[in-house]
Amino acid sequence: MNKKENIEPRTPEKHEQTRRAFLKMGTGAVASFAGLIFAVPFLDSLISQSMRVKIGKFVKVGPVLFLPDGVPEKMFFDERDEDAYIDEVERRDVWVVKNGDDVTAFSPVCPHLGCRYNWNAEDQHFVCPCHGSVFAKDGKVLHGPAPRGLDKFPTKVSNGFLSVKWERFKLGVSKRELV
């Protein structure tokens, strides 16, 4: 008797139950797979184009011959830029510090969280208005939450004219990385 109870009797009802459970699971699995096939392209349409890396080109900024040595100067220039389907001329800005023949062009974007910082002539340092990061004239962090010094653009000087490659860097991290 005991032995008989332990063995699962394969009654038609039981058979029906396992068959139904299998069908339920199977339908669910097929539906999920179908859903996934749809989800991938739909999600990809939102993701892939956002991840494209823009590569900057050298653009002429202006003459640096007469810039005073060691005084940061905000310079502006225009660059043709595509914002998705909108093709427009963007106004760009760059902080230029000249030291003899050496010309440094700092990105105007605070490497902390992307605000535009200012030059404080009195205290001789850069200050970001958002979270109070302070940078020295050479771009080093003096204090504040910024995780790294100011970002430098690649520069070229020919015939006294400065050209820079305007780029965006990953913010809020200590390593400098292009985005």
Partner 1 sequence: MFAKLDKWINDRWPLKEIWKSATEEEIPGGASYAYAFGSATLSLFILQIVTGIWQMFYYVPTTDHAYQSLSYLRLSVPFGWLVHGLHYWGASAMVVLLAVHLSRTFVWGAYKKPRELTWLIGVFLLLFTLAMSFTGAALPWDETGYWASEVGTSIAGTIPVIGTFAEQVLRGGAQMGQLTLSRFFILHVAVLPAILLGFIALHVVAFRQKGSIGPWEESKRKRAGQFWPDQIFKDALVFSVILLVLIGLAAFLAPPFSGPADPIDTTFQPKPEWNFLFLYQAIKAFQGPWEPVGTIGIPTALIVLLFGLPFFDKRRERNPLKRPLAMSVAAILAVGVITLTITGYYSHPNLQANPKNKTEAQSRAPSTDAAVSQGSNQKSASILPVVYPAGTSGVQDTNQIALPPGVSAIQPPAEVGEPGAAADMIGNAGHGKKLFDANCISCHGKDGRGGIPNPGSYLGTIPALNPVRSDIFSRDPAVFSGNLDRFIQNGAQAPGPSSSTGMPPMSMVAYGKTQSLTQPEISNIIAYIMHVNGVNRAHIDDAGVAPKTFFFFSLAVFIVLWLILGAFRLVSVRRRTLLAEESKER
Does position 170 interact with partner 1 (CB under 8 A)? The reply is yes
Does position 131 interact with partner 1 (CB under 8 A)? The reply is yes
* Residue position matching structure tokens 């340092």: 125
Contacting partner 1 within 21-80 (CB under 8 A): 46-47, 49-54, 73-74, 76, 78
In angstroms, rounded to a whole number, what is the distance separating the alpha carbons of residues 34 and 8? Answer: 36
Q: Which residues contact 23 (CB under 8 A, 6 or more apart)?
A: none
| Nearest residue to 59 via CA among 176, 167, 159 | 167
Residues 133, 117: contact at Cβ < 8 Å?
yes
14, 138, 172, 176: which one binds partner 1 (CB under 8 A):
172
Nearest distance, CB of residue 129 and partner 1, angstroms: 4
Total residues interacting with partner 1, rule: CB under 8 A: 50
- Amino acid letter, residue 168: R
Binding site for partner 1 (CB under 8 A): 46-47, 49-54, 73-74, 76, 78, 83-86, 91-93, 108, 112-123, 127-132, 141, 143-145, 147, 168, 170-174, 179
